[in-house]
Amino acid sequence: MNYFFLVAISIFTLSACHSQKAAEKKSAAPSCVQKAIENFSKGTCEKGLNVKEYTFQGKKVFVFDQSHCGNDMTSEVVDATCKSLGFLGGFVGNVKINGEDFSNAVFVKTLWEK
């Protein structure tokens, strides 16, 4: 009876690990975004960089924020294919992407920060 219980617990544990890895893989950033993060991380700014994922206008978008690296720096917003949708901040303090205020975006998670 103890053997059966041990086998059942082992199967449950292994299947739970598989489900977690599948969920992590599903939520991973697209490969072009991962490559862009690698390049972004090589910048000259020592700290204050981050890449965050949002849902905006019904799509996943990614914000490459370097605003803490200097005055009037911009944060680029790209879609899942790494197409640039525009820039936030900067000298003029832009807050719109595709004609919509980016404050309507829903934060999903931070992908990377330095």
Can you give the pTM of this predicted structure?
0.75
Phi, psi (rounded to 5 degrees) for 99: 75, 5
Determine the Cα–Cα distance for residues 19 and 40; give it in Å rounded to an integer: 31
pLDDT single digits (tens) 4-46: 433 445 454 544 444 444 334 445 899 999 999 999 999 878 8
Cβ neighbours of residue 92 closer than 8 Å, sequence gap 6 or more:
none
pLDDT single digits (tens) 80-98: 999 999 999 999 999 999 9
